[in-house]
Structure 1
Amino acid sequence: MDNKYKKLLKCIALDAIGMSTLAIPGIGAFLDAVWAPIAASISYKMFGNKRGKYTSLITFIEELLPGTDVVPSFTIFCILFDFIGLGKDDKVRNAVTDVDYTETR
């Protein structure tokens, strides 16, 4: 199985964990408060330094806000970055171009 499909399965599982707090009335909000920083940390590590800064913040807020547990943020980020390739152009734009030059003294 390709690595991006393994990552997608991990993301679906992480989203299922985040959504499972809806099934526990009463303490679901407490569990969201516990899960939010854990999910943010996993998101940061999973999507790298540059993207992870944004994904972790969005994931943290999404897990804390009431009614947003149904949003599969890990899966959305995985599809955007690994399957669609969002953000791949940044590497091309920031790449150093080999240029011939003549040094003058």
Structure 2
Amino acid sequence: MKDHKLRNLFLGLLFDGIGMLSFVVPGIGEFSDVIWAPVAGWLMTRLYKGKIGRAAGVITFVEEMLPGLDVVPTFTIMWLYTYVLKSAKNEKIISAK
């Protein structure tokens, strides 16, 4: 679990960085999003399995396709949800029993 946690954090930061690269070169940024959006959505479904991964993949695809939203770190947000928020919620449920 810990290996996946660190691996997913590193990959998420890398993929968010790649998504933000479209701001570096003015003019071709939005064109590159047409290529990156489906790739990013697919990568999200590979990093996070199940329904939550598929939902995150769709959200990532839409976020990358919409102009100006490339600054939203979708992969990092998903990592935080999976390994921080969801873990804290599960711990709360376990301690309540």
Could you tell me the TM-score, scaled by structure 1's length? Answer: 0.77
Partner of 2:85: 84
Q: Could you tell me which residue of structure 1 aligns to residue 72 of structure 2? A: 71
Larger Rg: 1
The aligned residue for residue 9 of structure 2 is: 8
Over the matched positions of the two proteins, sequence identity in percent amounts to: 39
In structure 1, C-alpha distance between the alignment counterparts of 2:46 and 2:6, rounded to whole Å: 17
Alpha-carbon displacement from aligned partner over 1:56-85 (angstroms, at most 9, x marks no partner): 110000001011000000000011012222
Structure 1 equivalent of residue 43 of structure 2:
42
**Aligned amino acid, residue 28 of structure 2:** I
Separation in structure 2 between the aligned mates of residue 9 and residue 64 of structure 1, nearest angstrom:
23
In structure 2, the gaps of 5 or more residues are none
Partner of 2:27: 26
- Cα root mean square deviation, aligned: 1.7
Structure 1 gap ranges (5+) = 93-105
Moved over 2 A (4+): none
- Equivalent pairs counted in the alignment come to 88
Letter in 2 for 1:19: M
Per the normalisation by structure 2, the TM-score is 0.83
| Cα separation, 1, equivalents of 2:17 and 2:50 | 24
The one-letter code matched in structure 2 to 1:52 is G
**Counterparts of 1:73 and 1:17, CA distance in 2:** 12
Query: Deviation of residue 49 (structure 1)?
Result: 2.2
If each structure's helix is expressed as a fraction of its own residues, which one has the higher value?
2
